[in-house]
Structure 1
Amino acid sequence: MAEIRIRNTNERIKGEDNVRQFLGNNNVIYEHWDPSKLPAHLQENFALSDDDKNEILSTYDGEIRDLASRRGYKTWDVITLSEATPNIEELLKKFENVHTHTEDEVRAITAGRGIFIIKGDENTGYFDVELEAGDVISVPEGAPHFFTLMDNRKIVAVRLFIEPEGWIAQNYDDPTFVK
């Protein structure tokens, strides 16, 4: 279940309803899919074949199509990151810069853990959304944010896009951000 840490106060927000309310107040969509739906051989598998990725998409087809119909997403895929990912350090450096997009950034976590760091209003500042299997997040278009892995350095996620070529990051220079 997702958990939030507000960076400037170190306050933690726990519990699905509290997380959903906080994120909703920050225009971030949060949902939860049943992680136990995924076949056991995919639940902690971070070296996925194309067939494995297609099986994940098939398993969550109803949830994906429901979210896509509500939010206008037209295409989706599966991404996996782990120590086995070629050039993992370079990829993470690319992800770990505050940026924005011209469309929502949507991730449905199916295995592993990761963090979205999102800029809230002036009073809240940046906050971390710690995600695990079953958590679904949609960071809104134009919201400064970035993504990184947690200590386990493993994640599998379904990504949904409006534009078929996917999102393009636009760097966001923010002198108030501290890693």
Structure 2
Amino acid sequence: MAEIRIRNTNERISGEENVKSFLEQQEVLYEHWNPGQLPASLQEKFILSDEEKQQILDTFDSEIRDLAGRRGYKTWDLIALSDATPNLNELLKKFEQVHTHTEDEVRAITAGKGIFIIKGSEDVGYFDVELEAGDVISVPENKAHFFTLMENRKIVAVRLFIETEGWIAHPYDDPSFQKA
């Protein structure tokens, strides 16, 4: 289940309803899908064949199509990252820069853990959303953020897009941002 850490105060927010309520106030969508419907053989697997990726997408097909229908997403794929991923450190450097998009950035975590660092309202500042299997988040367009892996450095996530070109980042220079 997702947990939030507000960076300015180190306050933690946990529990699905508390997390959902906080994120709604910050204009961030949060949902939870049932990760247990994924076959046990794929629940902790981070090196995936194309067939296994398709099996994960098929398992969550109704949830993906429901979210896509409600939010206007037109295409989706699956990303799997781990220490076995070629050039993982270079990829993470690209991810770990504060940026915005001209569309929502959506991740549905099916295995592993990840963290979104998001610029909240003026009274909140930056906050971390720690995600695990079953957590679904949509950071709205033009909201400054970045995504990275947590200490286990393993994640599998469905990504949904409006633009068929996929993930296009626009750098966001913010002198007030400090890596934690």
TM-score exceeds 0.5: yes
What CA distance in whole angstroms lies between the structure 2 residues aligned with 1:84 and 1:10?
Answer: 33
Q: How does 1:151-166 map to 2 (within 5 A)?
A: 151-166=151-166
Following the alignment from structure 1 to structure 2, what is the Cα–Cα distance between the partners of residues 168 and 77?
A: 15
Give the corresponding residue for 2:53: 53
| Per-residue deviation, residues 74-118 of structure 1 (Å, max 9, x unmatched) | 000000110000000000000000000000000000000010000
Runs of 4+ in 1 over 3 A off after TM superposition: none
Aligned to 2:11: 11
Q: TM-score, normalised on structure 2? A: 0.99
The CA RMSD over aligned residues, in Å, is 0.4
1: distance between equivalents of 2:161 and 2:129?
20
Secondary structure at 1:106's aligned position in 2?
Answer: strand
Give the match for residue 82 of structure 1: 82
Unaligned runs of 5+ in 2: none
| Percent of aligned pairs with the same amino acid | 77
Letter in structure 2 aligned against 1:28:
V
For 1:132, the equivalent position in structure 2 comes to 132
Q: 1:9-158 counterparts in 2 under 5 A?
A: 9-158=9-158
- Counterparts of 1:78 and 1:52 in 2: how far apart (Å)? 10
Q: For 2:51 and 2:164, how far apart are their aligned partners in 1?
A: 21
Contact kept in structure 2, 1:103 and 1:167, CA below 8 Å: no
Q: Do residues 169 (structure 1) and 169 (structure 2) align?
A: yes
- 2-side partners of 1:158 and 1:121: how far apart? 27
Aligned-residue offset at 1:167: 2.4
Q: State how far apart, in whole Å, the 2-side matches of 1:110 and 1:88 are.
A: 19
Distance of 1:50 and 1:89 partners within structure 2: 23
